[in-house]
Each structure stands twice: as C-alpha cells, then as structure tokens.
C-alpha cells in the first residue's frame, strides 16, 4: 500500500526541497540549527514520505540523525495547523520505523524510538518573530493546563534580515533567502512571474548566490519557482476571499443581533405603553410608545414629535405604532405613513 497523507496527483517538488535533497546541504542546515559540527553527510538517514503532499507541493524533508527524527518543512503561506499536520506525519513515520525493525507494539519490552523534532522555515509576507513556537494544544477546543498530548513546531523566519545568526552559520539558507527575495523584487517591479524567475536565476548565478545549484538545475528551478509563485498568488486570493466572507458573516451576525435587541426593546416599550393606556388614557400611552420606538429607529425631527403629540385619534395612533414597529428607520416610518412636514 502506498504511503499517502494528502491525495493529489498533480504535485511537484519545491525549490527548498530540491536544494536540501542534497545531503551536504541538509547537514549544513542541521549543524547551523543545532550548534553541531557533523562532517559526514552519510550519517543522515532520509525518512521523507514521498507521497506526503501539501496543496500540490512536496515541501518537506525528514531524516534521522543523533537519535532524532527531524522534519524540516518550508512554508511561504501562514498556516496555524502545522502542529496537527506534523502529528499526522510523524505518526506515519514512526509506524514505518517500528515496522522496519520487525518490532511489535504489543511486546513486553520497551521499543526505543527517535525523538521527534519539527522545524518550519517560513518566508511568507506575514510579519513574524525570528523564532516562534506553534503548539498543538493551541488547537484544543478546551484548553488544558497540562495537556496529555503536545507537539511543538519551531517556526524560523528566513526572510531577508531575519534570523541573522542562523543565516550567518548556514550559507545555503542565506542564499536561498536572497534568491527568493530577488524573485519577489522583480515581481514587485511588474515583471511577469516567468521573467522575474529568469532574471533572479541569472543574477544569482552571476553573483555566486546558489550558483552551482542553479546552474546545474536551472530548468527545474525555473519551472518549480513559477509553480510556487502561481500557487502563492492563488493562496493569497483564497485567503482574501475567506477574509471577506468572514467579514460579511460577522456583519450579518451583528445586524441580526442588533435587530433582536431592537425587537426586544420594542416589546418592552409596548408593555409600557399598555400600562400607560391603563393609567393615563389610551392616546397618551400610544403617543409615549410611538415616540420611544421611533427613538430606536434614529433621530426624530421636532416637527414629527409635535405632530404625534397633537394626534388624539387612537385608531390612527395604532396604525402609526404598527408602522413604527415594522420600520427600520425614521425615514422608513415616514414613507409607510405618508407623514410630511407642513410648510
């Protein structure tokens, strides 16, 4: 059976994964993050699930080293669900790890497993700290002081100017960040995505930025970069559309709550008016109710207040009361009743 976390046949590698598919580059990144000094790339045992796909793109690298199972992932779009995704991913990796050793989880002896570590390299447009920790427990519907299950993802900002100490220690990461920045710069200058990518690749090769990598895999990098930035644009569109939908829903919800409050206030005023009818006379009670309801609908002009106070016909006042209860504004009330200021 194939290993699948996300089903999508139209997928491609990301440039980040292409770069760190090379063990020497991956080891350099590991040393920079962990303050280690490993020199033999063959110490790395790559454990990446080849069919683990996120939104059409392979963007992860996982490996064993120092008795740890490390998952590196690149993201250019903000995703608060990374801890949950990594939980699903590491479960599959550990299952493969246990099965590979022909060990049984029902054994009476303890099965030793590598300690998991999760790192996301982020270079999206959202402003974030150089180092942020995302926790699985943040997604729990009911927060717990001491959660029985926790997973922490270290998010590292790799945009230009961010994480300077890490960038200083890892040349490939620093140059990858510069390569991405060049593409974005040319896109901002209104070049097409293909033109921006081609320009960035040529500049970087000329200036010695990821030169060997870009020179040897130019066509793949260009194709993949175009795919990534098309994908980034589409993700931004989806995010903007979702934000607008949420804003519209919140507006509708606020309107509904306001209508409910006005309706409740109207009922209370009606009860007060009935009491006034009983104690002060019908017309006086109707007048009091009508003016109070109109106050809820907006500013009531003085001429309208005077016109209502002068009216003594209970039937006409009853009609006006109904119109006020149904109206959404003072102007709507005037339209329903035909009342106009005398000239």
- pLDDT band at residue 110 using 50, 70 and 90 as cut-offs: very high
One domain, residues 245 and 305: no
Q: Which is more confidently placed, 140 or 105?
A: 140
One domain, residues 241 and 267: no
Within a domain: 198 = yes
One domain, residues 175 and 75: yes
One domain, residues 182 and 270: no
Query: Where would I find the beta strands (DSSP E) of the chain?
Result: 12-13, 45-46, 57-58, 60-65, 68-75, 115-122, 131-135, 152-157
∠ at Cα 95 (92, 100), nearest 5°? 125
State yes or no: pLDDT of 8 exceeds 90: no
Q: What is the pLDDT of residue 6?
A: 33
State yes or no: pLDDT of 147 exceeds 90: yes
Which stretch, 45-49, 290-294, 331-335, has highest mean pLDDT? Answer: 331-335
Out of 219, 249, 279, pick the residue that ends a domain: 249
State yes or no: pLDDT of 214 exceeds 90: yes
Within a domain: 78 = yes
Out of 249, 282, 297, pick the residue that ends a domain: 249
Percent of the chain surpassing pLDDT 90: 36
Within a domain: 2 = no
One domain, residues 131 and 244: yes
State yes or no: pLDDT of 235 exceeds 80: no
One domain, residues 277 and 235: no
Distances (CA, A) of 172 to 27, 209, 210: 11, 9, 7
Q: What is the pLDDT of residue 67?
A: 86
Q: Which is more confidently placed, 251 or 66?
A: 66
Out of 218, 249, 280, pick the residue that ends a domain: 249
Within a domain: 177 = yes
Joined tokens for residue 69: 């199972």
One domain, residues 307 and 206: no
One domain, residues 30 and 73: yes
Which stretch, 39-43, 202-206, 299-303, has highest mean pLDDT? Answer: 202-206
Q: Nearest 10 degrees: CA dihedral of 309, 310, 315, 321?
A: -30
One domain, residues 189 and 280: no
Q: Rounded CA gap, 15 and 183, in Å?
A: 13
Sequence-distant (6+) residues with CB within 8 A of 323 are: 333, 336, 337
Q: What is the pLDDT of residue 202?
A: 96
Which stretch, 10-24, 114-128, 307-321, has highest mean pLDDT? Answer: 114-128
Which stretch, 55-69, 154-168, 315-329, has highest mean pLDDT? Answer: 154-168
Rounded mean pLDDT of 182-211? 91
The dihedral through the CA atoms of 237, 78, 116, 59 has a sign that is: positive
What is the DSSP code string of 304-341? HHHHHHH---HHHHHHHHHHHHH-SSHHHHHHHH----
Domain count, the chain: 2
Rounded mean pLDDT of 209-237? 80
Sequence-distant (6+) residues with CB within 8 A of 162 are: 130
One domain, residues 135 and 216: yes
Q: What is the pLDDT of residue 55?
A: 35
Joined tokens for residue 147: 């959660």
One domain, residues 279 and 176: no
Within a domain: 55 = yes
Within a domain: 107 = no
Within a domain: 170 = yes
Within a domain: 255 = no
Q: What is the DSSP letter of 300?
A: P
What's the domain range around 309?
Answer: 261-337
State yes or no: pLDDT of 116 exceeds 70: yes
One domain, residues 154 and 230: yes
Rg value, the chain, Cα? 33
- pLDDT band at residue 290 using 50, 70 and 90 as cut-offs: confident
Q: What is the pLDDT of residue 76?
A: 85
- Whole-prediction pTM value? 0.64
């Amino acid at each position: 059976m194939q290993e699948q976390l996300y089903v999508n046949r139209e997928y491609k590698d990301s440039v980040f994964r292409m770069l760190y598919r090379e063990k020497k580059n991956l080891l350099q990144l590991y040393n920079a993050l962990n303050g280690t000094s490993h020199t033999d790339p063959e110490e790395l045992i790559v454990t990446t699930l080849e069919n683990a796909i996120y939104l059409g793109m392979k963007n992860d690298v996982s490996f064993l080293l120092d008795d740890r199972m490390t998952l590196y992932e690149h993201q250019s779009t903000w995703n608060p669900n990374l801890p949950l995704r990594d939980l699903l991913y590491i479960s599959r990796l550990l299952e493969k790890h246990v099965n590979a050793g022909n060990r049984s989880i029902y054994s009476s002896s303890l099965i030793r497993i590598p300690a998991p570590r999760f790192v996301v390299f982020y270079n999206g447009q959202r402003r974030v700290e150089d180092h942020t920790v995302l926790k699985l427990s943040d997604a729990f519907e009911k927060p717990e002081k001491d959660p029985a299950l926790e997973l922490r993802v270290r998010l590292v900002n790799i945009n230009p100017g961010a994480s300077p100490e890490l960038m200083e220690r890892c040349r490939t990461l620093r140059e990858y960040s510069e390569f991405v920045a060049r593409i974005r710069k040319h896109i901002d200058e209104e070049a097409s995505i293909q033109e921006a990518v081609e320009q960035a690749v040529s500049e970087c090769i000329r200036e010695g930025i990821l030169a060997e990598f870009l020179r040897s895999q130019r066509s793949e990098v260009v194709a993949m970069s175009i795919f990534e930035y098309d994908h980034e644009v589409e993700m931004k569109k989806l995010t903007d559309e979702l934000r607008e939908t949420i804003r519209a829903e919140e507006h509708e919800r606020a309107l509904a709550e306001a209508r409910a409050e006005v309706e409740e206030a109207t009922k209370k005023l009606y009860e007060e008016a009935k009491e006034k009818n009983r104690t002060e006379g019908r017309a006086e009670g109707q007048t009091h109710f009508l003016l109070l309801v109109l106050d809820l609908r907006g500013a009531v002009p003085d001429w309208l207040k005077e016109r209502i106070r002068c009216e003594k016909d209970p039937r006409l006042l009853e009609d006006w009361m109904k119109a006020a209860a149904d109206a959404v504004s003072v102007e709507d009330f005037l339209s329903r009743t035909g009342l106009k200021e005398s000239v």
